Each structure stands twice: as structure tokens, then as C-alpha cells.
A and B are shown apart, each in its own frame.
Chain A
Amino acid sequence: MTSALTSFLEASVRTATPLALAALGELLVERAGVINIGLEGIVLGGAFGALLGAGSNSLVLGFIAGCLAGVVIGALFAVFAVSMRADQIITGTAVNLLVLGLTGALYRGLYGATGAALTIPTTGSLAIPLLSRIPILGPTFFDQPPPTYLVYLTVPALWWWLYRTHAGLAVRAIGERPESVRVAGVNAHWWRWITLLVAGGLGGVAGATLVLSQSGTFAEGMSAGRGFIAIAIVVLGRWRPLGVLVASLLFGAASALQYLFQAMGWKVPYQLFLALPYVLTLLALAGFAGRRIEAPTALGRPA
């Protein structure tokens, strides 16, 4: 029982990690008034970048390449949605399709039509001394692959930056009322670009995590809606870093339920588990999105 619970909690945190990374980036972007549907493409691009980068058996290079791929896709989105003031939803959708098509074509072109039996070594978990020996909580939170610790660092850093620096204040103001911020001499386009690049990097690392810390391989469309779920997590987390962390863990737990059910020996169609995160997203949005006062006012509007 205890071991089933421990592995369930451990799997929850592991599944939550890429969601949290992508959602923290999206949180930053949305605070600047941009809704980046292209996050799904960023995560997928990050996964593919990680595959290419890790080709020479270097996990560090894999993460760097995944991060860079995310930054490039974020920049592509910014060119259209920020600089050209094009519609953010259409741009994001087009970016997703573009990445889906490009990664699919490149993958089949580089690794053959099936691309089967392609395995990359994974990071494994990195136990934090002392902390990892706390019963139950230790293995759950402090015996995880390195990207999980990046989440722990990003949450307080993002909070501090958003609420305790002038730049953070400017970004939050851009998300509420870009016109008045311009009067104050703040370049809204510039800040939206910055946030999109940072979010691209975080989303890229999220994709790299899928390949380098979890599956150890790449599959076409392997982001499987995680970018979209991350956007929902931002709503659920009320556009706050800590809220986003909690919401991510909730989704991680929902996805990890299948391990618990398997351990318990309950027979339920596995498609139910596959569908669970998406259904949960819908239910969570229905429960929380009604109170939309907390959403940045200028969300989705060109600046």
C-alpha cells in the first residue's frame, strides 16, 4: 500500500514537471496580455530539438537544443502576434500546425518512415541529500529528474520578478492596459517579445523533459495536448506562480491515477485514463473560469 502510494505520488510530480514548466512560461506571457496557443507547438518543438541535440549522447546538449527550439518557435509567434499585431489565436494555431508538420516530416526524413527503436538515454533521478530521505515526501519531491528542481527554482524566481521588480510591474501593467503603459514610456512590444522568448525557453525545456527524462524516445505529436493543458493550468492557477504549481500537481496526479489503479488491480478501460486530463481540464475550467476578474484585462489584444 505504502509503496503504491509512494509511486503514485512520485509519478504525479514527474508528470506534473513538464506541465508546470510550460504553464509558468505561459503565465508570464499571459501576464503581459498575450495568449500563446502556440505553446503546444513549442513543447513539441522542444521535444524534437532535444532528440536532435541528444544525438551525440549528451543530455545537457539535448536540454539546450530543446530550450533553443522553444525560443525560436516563441520568436516566430512573436513576429506575427506582437510585431505584426496579427490575431493571437490564429497565429498560435498556425504555429502549432507548422511545428507538427515540420517535426513530423523531419523525423520521418531523418529516422526513416517508422522511426522505430530509437532510444535515448534518460537523465534518471537526482536525489537531494537529506531531503530525499524524508518519509513519503522525500522520494516524492526530492528524488526526481533535474527539470523538477528547475520548477522549484522558477516558481519563487517568477514570483519575485513579477511582484517585486519594476520590470515585473511593467509587464503586469502591459497585460492590463497597454495604452497607458506606453504613455509611461514602457515599450509594450519589447516586453511582450521578452516574455515570449522566456516562455519559449521554458516550454522547450518542458518538451525536452518529455524526451530526456521520461520516455527516452520521440514520437510524432508526442506533446499530446500538454501545451493546451498548460494554458488551462494558468487559468486554474489564477495567473499566479504558486497557484500554477499547485494546479500542475493536481493534473500530474490525475494523469498518474492510472499507475495507482494498475497497482490496485482495478480493471478500467485505459482510454478513460488517457481522456482524464482533458476531461479534468474542462471541469476545472467550468469550475473556475467563471470568475474571470483575475484574468489580465488586455489578454488577447494587440499592444
Chain B
Amino acid sequence: MSGPISSVEAASNSGWRRRIRASLTTSAAAAIVAAAALTLLWVALRLAGFDATLALGALWRGSFGNWYAFTSSTLVRATPLVLTGLAVAVAFRAGVWNIGADGQLLIGAAAAAAVGLACGNGLGWAVLPLALLVGAIGGGCWAGIAAFLRTRFGVLEVISTIMLNFVALDLVGYLVRGPLQEPSHAYPQSNPIPADMHLPMLIPGTRLHWGFVLAFVAAAVLWWGMRSTAAGFRVRAIGANADASRIAGRIDVPRTTTNVLLLSGALSGLAGAIEVSGVTFALYENISPGYGYTAIAVALLAGLDPLGVLGTGILFGALEAGALSMQREASVPSVVVTAVEAALVLLLLALSRRTGAASIIGRLAGARNAGEETP
């Protein structure tokens, strides 16, 4: 008598349970990553002879310790990490090795600053969306160079995007000492951007700007797009197996690769434009402390999942914000977190090997092999 009803119940129950279990697994993974990061840091600090307890206390106070630190340091720092993390995640999903998020961010920042400085206050509020748009286009174009080199000449984008990072750095260095330098020519930086271009603050009394909301929206849109649109399917398909996609799925692999790189570059460029209009309010040479490189760790630890990037982006934002206060209070060099982030990626590689699960790394390796054989 309980046959059909209980089986329906069981079915819905198991679907529900599976969802709970999946989200529990994700949270557990995030907790493990955070715990592993702290343990690694503690060990590294002890080995280097620092007061680890004091340093980790400072890390906490500078990141999650109070409302101001959380909003004005952690989330402000997380914004470019989430956007560049998304850029890396979408590219890696397609088996496209965009290591150039940092250069694309710089070009986006330079393009946005140039728009702001050229328009001044003449455009009113419209200068802000225009600058963000131009920043995204600038980043996209910079990645487009790598896309062109790959599809036209078969240049591996791993190398070309890295080279373009250095070129972007030199280009911005030239801009802030040349055409865009402030009039007194004393400092390598631009004039302040017009007030109309400032991103409004999200929470009064903090430094958290609306750029964080944009990053949040970008993550949600990308999550939906990757799951539910034909374009998202093409991206996942060429990442899983480029040959099968071309032959069985009639997917234009070079075109999809180009589009992915353009999108990836645009996200990084937007991150740069947001940094200029929400944080620095002028163009500086060292506007990025390597966001685009940290982004690789952000994306990988999130399993290349856009919503996961939101989580790991905030986690890494907290790590980097906390590192600065660690440097102030315990005089621990803040670059130590870069080593911790790298160690986390290596740990992930080792764990995904041990668990033998259908890991993202395995998928990536597969994607790469397939990509190697496409002409």
C-alpha cells in the first residue's frame, strides 16, 4: 500500500538530500581550504621565526575581525579577485589557458582612466558606464591579441598572454610617465579622474563600492550562462573535448576559443576599470598587486565554478587584506600569502590525485590533450 507514494517520496527525498549533500560538500571543501591555508601560513611563519599567534591574530583583525575591516578591506580586495577569477574560470573551462588576466586588468584600468580624463565632467553621470564599458573593451582587445595569435598562427596562449602581461605593464608605465602623467610631472601617476566617474559607495561609512555588486552580478550571470545557454554549452564542450566538439557537435572551435578569450579579457578589463573608478581614482603603475595571478588560484580552488569563485574570491580577499595588517602589526612580509595561495593549488593537485574523483584537474588535463591536437 505504501509502494508508489513512498517511492515518489523517496525520489523527491533523495533529490533534496543530494542537493543538501552537494552544498554541504561545497561548504566543507571551502572550510577545508580555509583551514589548510591557515595551517600552512602558521607553519611557514613558525619556520621563518615569526610570532605566528600574533600574526594570525592580526590576519583575523584585518580581514573578518570587524565590520569595517570586512567591508572596506576584504570585500574591496575581493572585487577584482572575483572578476579576474571569473575571467580565468571561464577560459580554463574552455581549455583556454589565459594567464594574462593581470595585463588585461591593467589595460582595462588604463582605458577607463583615459576615458575619464578625456571627458572630464562634461558627460555628467554617463562617464561612469562609458568608462566601465571602455575598460571591458580594452581588456577584451588585449586578450583578443592572444586569440588572434592562437587561431591565426597557432601560438600557445599560455606564452602569449604572459608576454602580453609584461607589455601591458610597460605600456601603463609609459602612460603614467608620458601622455597621461599628472601636469607637474613629479609622480608616475595620472591626474585624479572626474568626480562623476567615481563609483558610488555601497555601504555608507565604508570604502565598499558598487563594483562588488557588479562582480556579484557577473558571477551569477556567468553561472547561469554556463549552465543554461548554448554558448555556455559550447564553452564546456570544447573544454571537455575539442575534437569531439568539432566533429560530432559541429562546434566552431577557433571561434568559440576567440569568444571565450574576449569575454575573459573583458571581465579582467572591467576589474581594472572598477579599481580605477572605485578604489584608486587615478591611474597608477602598480594598480594591480598581481590580481590576475592570484585569480588563477581563485578559479582553480573554486573548481572553475562561477559561484564558487565568489566564495574563494572573498576568501583570498580576506587573506590579502589580512596580510597587510599582518605586515603592519607583526612585520610579516605580506607576499607570504602568495606562497600560501600557490601551496593551496599544489595541495589541490595532490588531493585530486589521491581521491581519484572525476576532478576538475583531470578534466583540465583531458581538455589540454584534446586542445594540443587541434591544428
A residues with CB within 8 A of B? 37, 80, 84-87, 89-91, 93-98, 100-102, 104-106, 108-109, 113, 220, 224-225, 228-229, 231-232, 235, 269, 271-272, 274-275, 278-279, 281-282, 285-287, 289-290, 292, 299-302
Interface hub of A98, A104, A299 (most chain B Cβ within 10 A): A98
Interface hub of A90, A109, A232 (most chain B Cβ within 10 A): A90
A301 with B335: in contact, given A37-B158, A94-B342, A278-B166 (CB under 8 Å)? no
Which residue on chain B has the smallest CB distance to residue A107?
B333
Task: Report the separation of the CA atoms of residues A102 and B99 in the bound assembly, to the nearest whole angstrom.
Answer: 20
Q: Which residues from A are CB-within-8-Å of B164?
A: 278, 282
Q: Which residues from A are CB-within-8-Å of B97?
A: 89
Task: Report the separation of the CA atoms of residues A80 and B372 in the bound assembly, to the nearest whole angstrom.
Answer: 20
Task: Please determine whether A101 and B170 come into contact, CB atoms closer than 8 angstroms.
Answer: no
Q: Give the 4 A-B residue pairs with the shortest CB-CB distance, closest first.
A: A101-B339, A101-B338, A98-B342, A97-B342
Q: Which residues from A are CB-within-8-Å of B343?
A: 98
Given contacts A96-B342, A97-B345, 8 further A-B contacts (CB under 8 A): A86-B353, A89-B158, A94-B346, A97-B341, A101-B341, A102-B339, A275-B170, A301-B369
Task: Report the separation of the CA atoms of residues A278 and B173 in the bound assembly, to the nearest whole angstrom.
Answer: 15
The verdict on B297 contacting chain A, using a C-beta distance below 8 Å, is yes
Q: Which of B19-27, B147-155, B195-203 contacts A (4 or more CB under 8 A)?
A: B147-155
Q: Which residues from B are CB-within-8-Å of A84?
A: 349-350, 353
Task: Please determine whether A285 and B159 come into contact, CB atoms closer than 8 angstroms.
Answer: yes
Interface string of B274-286 (1 = CB under 8 A from A): 0000000000000
Expressed in whole angstroms, the minimum distance between the Cβ of A230 and any Cβ of chain B is 11
Q: Which residues from A are CB-within-8-Å of B171?
A: 271, 275
Expressed in whole angstroms, the minimum distance between the Cβ of A70 and any Cβ of chain B is 17
What is the count of residue pairs linking A and B with beta-carbon distances less than 8 angstroms? 160
Q: Which of B31-39, B125-133, B218-226, B360-368 contacts A (4 or more CB under 8 A)?
A: B360-368
Expressed in whole angstroms, the minimum distance between the Cβ of B109 and any Cβ of chain A is 16
A105 with B353: in contact, given A87-B368, A279-B167, A300-B372 (CB under 8 Å)? no
Task: Please determine whether A109 and B48 come into contact, CB atoms closer than 8 angstroms.
Answer: yes
Q: Which residues from B are CB-within-8-Å of A274?
A: 166, 170, 173
The contact sample of 10 A-B pairs, CB cut-off 8 A, is: A90-B364, A94-B297, A100-B335, A100-B339, A101-B335, A105-B335, A108-B333, A232-B163, A235-B159, A286-B152
Task: Please determine whether A106 and B337 come into contact, CB atoms closer than 8 angstroms.
Answer: no
The verdict on B336 contacting chain A, using a C-beta distance below 8 Å, is yes
Task: Please determine whether A290 and B153 come into contact, CB atoms closer than 8 angstroms.
Answer: yes
Q: Number of contacting residues on B, CB 8 A?
A: 54
Task: Please determine whether A89 and B346 come into contact, CB atoms closer than 8 angstroms.
Answer: no
Task: Please determine whether A225 and B166 come into contact, CB atoms closer than 8 angstroms.
Answer: yes
The verdict on B340 contacting chain A, using a C-beta distance below 8 Å, is yes
Task: Please determine whether A87 and B159 come into contact, CB atoms closer than 8 angstroms.
Answer: no
B residues with CB within 8 A of A? 44, 48, 50, 97, 99, 145, 149, 152-156, 158-160, 162-164, 166-167, 170-171, 173-174, 177-178, 293, 296-297, 300, 331-333, 335-343, 345-346, 349-350, 352-353, 361, 364-365, 368-369, 372
Q: Which residues from B are CB-within-8-Å of A86?
A: 349-350, 352-353, 361, 365
Q: Which residues from A are CB-within-8-Å of B300?
A: 90
Q: Which residues from A are CB-within-8-Å of B50?
A: 109
Task: Please determine whether B178 and A101 come into contact, CB atoms closer than 8 angstroms.
Answer: no
Q: Which residues from B are CB-within-8-Å of A272?
A: 170, 174
Expressed in whole angstroms, the minimum distance between the Cβ of A42 and any Cβ of chain B is 14
Which residue on chain A has the smallest CB distance to residue B364?
A87
Task: Report the separation of the CA atoms of residues A109 and B174 in the bound assembly, to the nearest whole angstrom.
Answer: 32
Task: Please determine whether A282 and B154 come into contact, CB atoms closer than 8 angstroms.
Answer: no
Task: Please determine whether A271 and B335 come into contact, CB atoms closer than 8 angstroms.
Answer: no
Q: Which residues from A are CB-within-8-Å of B155?
A: 282, 285-286, 289
Which residue on chain B has the smallest CB distance to residue A279?
B167
Q: Which residues from B are CB-within-8-Å of A287?
A: 153
Which residue on chain B has the smallest CB distance to residue A232?
B159
Which residue on chain B has the smallest CB distance to residue A273?
B170
Q: Which residues from B are CB-within-8-Å of A80?
A: 346, 349-350
A104 with B335: in contact, given A231-B159, A271-B171, A285-B160 (CB under 8 Å)? yes
Task: Please determine whether B154 and A90 come into contact, CB atoms closer than 8 angstroms.
Answer: no
Task: Please determine whether B350 and A228 come into contact, CB atoms closer than 8 angstroms.
Answer: no
Instruction: State which of B152, B173, B337, B349 has its C-beta within 8 Å of the C-beta of A90.
Output: B349
Task: Please determine whether B335 and A90 come into contact, CB atoms closer than 8 angstroms.
Answer: no
